[in-house]
Amino acid sequence: MTIAVLLTLAAYLLGSLSAAIIVCKLMGLPDPRTQGSRNPGATNVLRIAGKKTAAIVLLGDAAKGLLPVFIATLFHVDDNVLAAVGMAAFLGHLYPLYFGFHGGKGVATAFGVLLGAAWPVALAVLATWLLVAKVLRISSLAAVIAASLAPFFAWFSGSSEFLVMMTAAMSVLLLWRHRSNIQRIISGAEGHIGR
């Protein structure tokens, strides 16, 4: 029980580290919370700092989802603990302790969590995002569709009920965090990739 609590707490604290804010600060760039969409995530960093910086942020956000889950598997924890650890890392990104509980939207961190907890689900989600992004050229729409399908991928893959519930909870929060994007998609005002 103590290990489970410590792993979950550590996951939240790691998730609370904002790759976008840290990377931009280290590279002498403006705080992403003051530029563009003001979202501390890879997509906004792409707009304000370019592909290289955005790629570093993307990897950092995914890693902080993957790492705590991977460490938890080394302790051979039950799936309920694994799900709690993954959810804690994800919530850390959304509501970071170090940045006034105002974080990013969580796409990369959720992917990292799934990669550690159920890699076939993560690959299915990634394939969905890539397909939608390539065809429709709207990053947020790709994220919304991939997030919506993630719980079904988890269920069809035979993941445990705890991991399916974790995936569903992350999906609901991802959709909530993208609510302004969804409104812009509906109105036709959402930006396209490469424009």
Distance CA 69, CA 67 (A): 5
* Number of structural domains found in the chain: 1
Residue 195 maps to a domain: no
195: confidence class by pLDDT, cuts 50, 70, 90: low
In tens, the pLDDT along 74-90 reads 999 999 999 999 999 99
Report the SS3 class of residue 61. Answer: helix
Question: Domain residues for 14?
Answer: 2-187
In sequence order, what are the residues at sequence separation of 6 or more whose Cβ sits closer than 8 angstroms to the Cβ of residue 143? Answer: 105, 107, 129, 174, 178, 181
Residue 33 maps to a domain: yes
Distance CA 17, CA 34 (A): 18
In sequence order, what are the residues at sequence separation of 6 or more whose Cβ sits closer than 8 angstroms to the Cβ of residue 121? Answer: 114, 150, 153, 154, 157, 159, 167
Distance CA 69, CA 80 (A): 12
In tens, the pLDDT along 7-19 reads 999 999 999 999 9
Mean of the per-residue pLDDT values of the chain: 95
Residue 103 maps to a domain: yes
Residue 97 maps to a domain: yes
CB 125 within 8 A of CB 153: yes
Residue 135 maps to a domain: yes
CB 109 within 8 A of CB 89: yes
> What is the per-residue pLDDT for 28?
93
192: confidence class by pLDDT, cuts 50, 70, 90: confident
DSSP letter at 97?
G
> What is the per-residue pLDDT for 2?
93
Residue 41 maps to a domain: yes
> What is the per-residue pLDDT for 190?
86
194: confidence class by pLDDT, cuts 50, 70, 90: low
163: confidence class by pLDDT, cuts 50, 70, 90: very high
Look up the pTM and report it: 0.94
